Amino acid sequence: MGKRKTVKEIFKMKKNDQKITMLTAYDYQFAKIMDRSGIDVILVGDSLGMVFQGHSTTIPVTVDQMIYHTKIVVDSTENAFIIADMPFGSYQVSVEKGVENACRIMKETGCNAVKIEGGQRVIPLVEKLILAGIPVYGHLGLTPQSINKFGSYRLRAQKEKEAYKLIDDAVLLEKAGVSGIILEKIPSILAKEVTEKVKVPTIGIGAGPDCDGQVLVITDLLGIDEDVNFKFVRKYANLNDIISGSVKNFISDVKEKKFPTEEESY
C-alpha cells in the first residue's frame, strides 16, 4: 500500500478534533487536482448520475459505471482515501448480491471503502461486508436513492420520531462496524448529537458545523451549474461564468479570424 490515508488515520482525526475533508470526484482531472491539494477523502458518489450524466436522480447509475469512474479516480490519486458509492439496485435485492457487488467494486477499482445508504435495514449487509474485509461508510438523513419514497430533497429528521430513528440507526451502524457515517441535510443540532454519541467519524453535507468532517459535491463547490443554489453549498468559484466566458471568447476569436495567430501556428 502507498501513502493513502487509512481508516485508522481518519478515526484518529476525530479523536484529535481535526476536521476531515471530503469531496466528490468522478474523473482524472478533478481527482488529481484535489488529491494534490491535500483532500483527505474522495467520494466517487452516485451523484455522478446527476452532475455528470444529467439525470434528475441518482437511481439510473449502474455498478459498471461506478466501477468505471472509481477506477479512474483511484488511478489518478496517491494520497486520498477513496470511497465508492454502491448504486441503487446493487445491494437492495439481497445481502448476497450486495456482497458480490461490493467485492466487484473493491476488486476492479482498488478503492478503499464502499458507501451504503440506510440504517437498520442495511445492517445485515454491513456486517457481512465487514466480515469480508470491506470497510463501509453509512449514509443517513437525506438518502437520495430513496427519493421516490420521499418525493422531495427537503430537510430530513425534523420531527422527533424521525430524529430518534436516525440516532438509533447511527448507533446500529457503529455497532455493525462502519468506518464513518455521512449525515445529509438534517438539523445541525441532530448532527451534533449523533457526532457526540458515536465514536466513528461523521461527515456532514447540509448538517451543520459540528460533524467531524464536511463533504461537498465538487461541481457545486466550483459553481459549475448555475441552477444549483442549495443553502448548504458554499460556492468557492463561479466556474460557470469562467467556462461560458472562455467558450464565447473562443467562438468570437475563431469567427473573427483572431485565433490562431502566427505564434500559435507551426
Residue ranges binding ligand KIV (CB under 6 A)? 24, 43, 45-47, 85, 182, 184, 205, 215, 217
Q: Which amino acid is at 99?
A: V
Write phi, then psi, for 217 (nearest 5 degrees): -80, 130
* Gap between the Cα atoms of 113 and 82, Å rounded: 7
Bridge partners (DSSP) of residue 215 are: 22
184 is an active site residue: yes
- The residue at minimum Cβ distance from ligand KIV is 45
Of 41 and 123, nearer to ligand KIV (C-beta) is: 41
The least distance separating ligand KIV from the CB of residue 14, rounded to whole angstroms, comes to 18
Distance CA 205, CA 261 (A): 47
Cα gap 49→219, rounded to integer Å = 13
Which one, 5 or 88, has the nearer CB to ligand KIV? Answer: 88
One of 160, 184, 193, 263 is an active-site residue; which one?
184
CB 210 within 8 A of CB 192: yes
Query: Cβ closer to ligand KIV: 35 or 46?
Result: 46
Give the dihedral of Cα atoms 33, 37, 40, 41; nearest 10 deg.
Answer: -10
> Which triple of cell numbers denotes residue 38?
491535500
Cβ–Cβ under 8 Å, residues 169 and 120: yes
Instruction: Please identify, using beta-carbon distances, which residue of 76 and 202 lies nearer to ligand KIV.
Output: 202
Least Å distance, CB 197 to ligand KIV, is: 20
Q: What span, in angstroms and rounded, lies between the C-alpha atoms of 265 and 88?
A: 49
- Residues assigned a catalytic role: 184
